Amino acid sequence: MSEAQYVLEMKDITKVFPGVKALDGVTLRVRPGTVHALMGENGAGKSTLMKCLFGIYKADGGEIVLDGSKVEINSSKDALARGVSMIHQELHPVPFRSVMENIWLGRFPEMGFGPFKIIDHRKMYENTAKLFQELNMDLDPRTIVRSLSVSKIQSLEIAKAVSFHSKVIVMDEPTSSLTGNEVEALFKIINQLRDQGVSIIYISHKMEEILRISDEVTIMRDGQLVGTWPAAELTTELIITRMVGRDLKERFPERHSEPGDILMKVSGLSSPSPRSFRDISFDLREGEVLGIGGLVGAQRTELIEAIFGLRSITSGDISIRGKKVRIRRPVDAKRHKIALLTEERRVTGIFPVLNIKENTIIANLERYLNPLRLMNDQKARAETTQSVERLRVKTPTIHTLIKNLSGGNQQKVLLARWLLTEPDILMLDEPTRGIDVGAKFEIYSIIADLAKQGKSIIMISSEMPELLGMSDRIMVMSDGKLSGILDRKDATEEEIMRLAAKHLG
């Protein structure tokens, strides 16, 4: 095949970080006007490869070829100038500026002469409106970005990428925070871009999406290329096997132990906000995994944040082992042996500029202070090392910055953080979001082991197989109300969806 058949070739790309070879001679070839999926477990090297393409990292070996010509990409500015754009998983627009200002940031149209130039807002509006018309996007260029939904911000980022006349657009986990309808809208835009000859590199862990939207699939494992196949030749089972290097016949660990006595009882809990949760009552047993299902806006996160003392309540009681407790702040929750792993690990979980040891001990610093109130670093290092080994965190050392770990390994560190507080109740909000299938199984195994030890787990999940595969009971919420609690043996996807829509107008 001639090089002209590819809009992009990344040949034998190598990237080494201290203590780890992140990319080991990886080759990626992308045809024009196609959606090319890039898959692999967390830590496989997908994001590192794309950061080498976009100029965030400088590859230590290999070459990049665009439209048949070898190029040097030393910065994001270089990449954009050569027609390569990247939409990151974490969207970071300028929230208090307008949509059109975000799109043309750094290259505003100007009017005037010589040094006496000002921004031409009319021209900027016209350019933006024309761009949205071409992409069939329903966005007002003058809208302030902070008022937009996640899906609208994603549309803005796509429009911005197209405004650079990009030949290649990288989309990193673009649907991780989108609802079903928003995913459909995104797929329409992707198909339109493909029809216009734009190539999309699509990174996702969602198998159904990959098989539906992509033309070709490249799979990576441990920093190496496994292979590239036409999407039509693949199945979910084949992708999983090639991603993890083994056949995962069972997606969830076996559960044999039965839940014990009631540990926590929640009675009539209501939020001061009329649009939040109302009159919620349930109990949680020792050694139980209680799943919480529901659609976006069901107020599941708000409920467990209130139990943890992050939100106020106007009425209702919480009892632990038959005794009423008052939880006004997280420190109260910790004192009652309750822990919370939040939904957005990058925003409310990790401290990116701190290392693994510091992130692991930070919720429990008192544990490491000696009588003189000085840090016992030897104890902190020993317990962090023990946690890393127990949870199988992949890292060169415990002094590695947590931001350099994959999403799955970051999540394990956060689990280690809360396990060191020795909780009886562990609340997990979307614990496997944005995590590959192999790392998911490891986290499921950790949850199952904790339940076997008698720990009580509350797990919010938007993934139906996860709820059905891990929960002893499933509590379903709809528009802030409790719509039903299902035993594991009675739970089906259809019944969960029926209950999730029960109180929607």
Note the pLDDT of residue 2: 42
Residue 375: predicted pLDDT: 87
The pLDDT, as a whole number, for residue 314 is: 94
Instruction: Tell me phi and psi for residue 8, to 5 degrees.
Output: -140, 135
DSSP 299-351: -HHHHHHHHTTSS--SEEEEEETTEEE---SHHHHHHTTEEEE-S-HHHHT--
Question: What does the block give as tokens for 163?
Answer: 């405004």
For the domain covering 3-244, report its CATH number.
3.40.50.300
* Within this chain, domains 3-244 and 287-311+326-500 share the same CATH topology: yes
The predicted-structure confidence for 13-47, as pLDDT tens digits, reads as follows 999 876 678 899 999 999 999 999 999 876 688 88
**149, 178 Cβ separation under 8 angstroms:** no
* pLDDT < 70: residue spans in the chain: 1-4, 18-19, 42-43, 89-90, 176-179, 246-250, 436, 505
pLDDT in tens, 61-71: 999 999 999 99
Residues 6+ apart with CB under 8 A from 342: 348, 349, 429
Asked if 496 and 476 count as a contact pair (C-beta separation under 8 A), the reply is yes
**What HEC string does 30-68 produce?**
ECCCCEEEEECCCCCCHHHHHHHHCCCCCCCEEEEEECC
Q: What is the DSSP string of 186-229?
A: HHHHHHHHHHTT-EEEEE-S-HHHHHHH-SEEEEEETTEEEEEE
Q: What is the pTM (predicted TM-score) of this model?
A: 0.63
- Level-2 CATH architecture, domain 287-311+326-500: 3-Layer(aba) Sandwich (3.40)
With a CB cutoff of 8 Å and minimum separation 6, the contacts of 262 are 283, 284, 285, 286
What is the predicted pLDDT for the residue at 141? 93
The pLDDT assigned to 371 comes to 84
**Domain map (residue ranges) of the chain:** 3-244, 287-311+326-500
At residue 177, the pLDDT reads 64
pLDDT at position 305 is 95
Q: Report the SS3 class of residue 70.
A: strand
Residue 354: CB atoms within 10 A of its CB come to 15
